[in-house]
Amino acid sequence: MPQDLASFVDWLRSRERRLALSDDDLLEVFWQAHPRLRFFKSLPWGANVLDVGAGNGGLAHWKGWLKPDRADLNLYGADRNPGEFGELYLGWEKVDLDREVPKFHEVIFNGVFASHLIEYLAAPERLIEWLGERVKTGARVYLEWTSPSTLDLPNRDQLGQHGIEVLTSNCSDDREHEQAPDLAQMRRCGVQRHRERRDRSRHSWRGIVRSRRRPRFALDGILVADWFLAVHGRDQIRGYRHRGETGRE
């Protein structure tokens, strides 16, 4: 690992900025290409969208950031803490997802957004089952989580020894991570993949959730596998893209 890590660090330091863009413009270009924003901006008109594991509620700011404006979306948030921007949601529930599922009585969702949530859950099966019961037929669901392959990445301390500061690299850097589930494990939870398309930037997939209580529900989703770090310049290294797959900054 030390020899491989040294070579990797040398490669990182050799990267140079290739686009004549300001940091603000580069941020916009990055997100316009990211499946997370593309999913959000392409949701059906007037969709009821559940943001589960909503954090501080910052997703609401995406409604009016970049085009198209999506003020039509009805956002509902669920997290273990009150969201700083929870007032921007039509509803917010404080819930420990390891112990219970959200309620949102009488709300049927046709969009679900769960970005980097399930790796924090000891048993995501309950949440997946609940989603199968509460989404409308043909709903679109975005699931993004830490890939098992991140367990092979250098950890934060190793990178720090080479002067590269990151929030997290290896899955184990976040002590609250319970697991890094693979697709096989998620299929056992009820998510079943029936088509996969690969390109140089991401794995895309369509899946279905099978509920024991109701018929199956068709879901669209994107799995963004692997953590990645964005390289902004030779002396401003924030990370790296692992094995050509895109993840979360």
Q: How many domains does the chain have?
A: 1
Query: Measured between alpha carbons, how far is residue 243 from residues 18, 52, 199, 227, 228 in Å?
Result: 20, 28, 12, 10, 9
Write the CB contacts of 87 (distance below 8 Å, at least 6 apart in sequence): none
Question: 3-class DSSP state for residue 26?
Answer: helix
Asked if residues 194 and 219 have their Cβ atoms less than 8 Å apart, the reply is no
CATH number, domain containing residue 148:
3.40.50.150
Q: Report yes or no on 234 lying in a domain.
A: no
Structural domain for 198, as ranges: 2-223
Query: Residue 249 and residue 157: Cα distance in Å, rounded?
Result: 18
Average pLDDT, the chain: 77
Q: For 152-183, how does the pLDDT look when each residue is reduced to its tens digit (9 = 90+)?
A: 889 999 999 998 888 888 999 999 999 888 87
Q: Is pLDDT of 16 > 80?
A: yes
Instruction: Give the CA diameter of the chain.
Output: 57
Does 238 fall in a domain? no
Considering the domain boundaries, does residue 233 fall inside one? no
Q: How many Å apart are CA 49 and CA 201, to the nearest integer?
A: 26
Residue-level pLDDT at 185: 74
How far apart are alpha carbons 36 and 177 in whole angstroms? 21
pLDDT of residue 124: 87
pTM recorded for the entire structure: 0.78
Model confidence at 73, in pLDDT bands (50, 70, 90)? very high
Two tokens, residue 170: 């290896």
Give domain status of residue 236, yes or no. Answer: no
Q: Is residue 206 part of a domain?
A: yes
Residue 242 lies in a domain: no
Residue 108 confidence class, pLDDT cut points 50, 70, 90: very high
pLDDT given for residue 93 in this prediction: 98
